[in-house]
A and B are shown apart, each in its own frame.
Chain A
């Protein structure tokens, strides 16, 4: 069974940093791109970042470029999101997800982890 388990969410002050982790199991992690998607309370879903199988390509939504860094450790079957210079608007549940492609170069997501809550507040 494919499982994605996030951790690391916490309450952090504006301008602070946090590192999220996602432990993957049940599939060949090193053979798949991975993603982070977030959801602010009562709001919709927003794609945050993608990383290639070997970590050589990374893509970010404009609002987090220069502040967030996606990375992975294939030996540990783990995905990470380093979040710096956090803002109130980054407050959300952050989901780890596995992207899937059809005939385009844009992906959908399946499956998703249960999420970890990041709250940015003083």
Chain B
């Protein structure tokens, strides 16, 4: 089973600042990675797949990249609605597995 490790566990950011979230896979998974956003009491929402392709309706301030087994989700200028928990998920090897999440909180 592929282990996905996200860092940091919590990221404190001021509104308007940028944020960089990391997700590392225990094996090479090509670009087969998705990112989700989850707000308290809500279901996860797909942000990105293919490591860098934004899902429908996701604003351009969200971007993704990959270097080897290290994946990055960048939020260029945090808006109030972006404070949430973010999860990565690999879909290269069965079964699909998720990281433990990064909470982006208001500084």
Contacts and interface: CB of A to CB of B under 8 A. Distances in A.
Given A102-B32, A110-B55, A115-B43, A61 B95 contact: yes
A45 B89 CA distance: 9
A111 interface: yes
A102 B91 contact: yes
Nearest to B35: A108
Interface string A83-122: 0000000000001000011111111111111110000000
Interface residues of A, number: 24
Interface string A68-95: 0000000000000000000000000001
B94 A95 contact: no
A102 B50 contact: yes
Contacts of B8: none
**Chain B binding surface, main DSSP class:** loop
Contact of B32 (A44, A106, A111): A106
Interface residues of B, number: 25
B42 interface: yes
Contacts of B93: 106
Given A44-B87, A45-B87, A106 B43 contact: no
A34 to B, nearest CB: 14
A112 B91 contact: no
Interface of A: 43-47, 59, 61, 95, 100-115
| Shortest beta-carbon contacts, A-B, top 6 | A112-B43, A110-B46, A108-B34, A106-B91, A45-B98, A44-B100
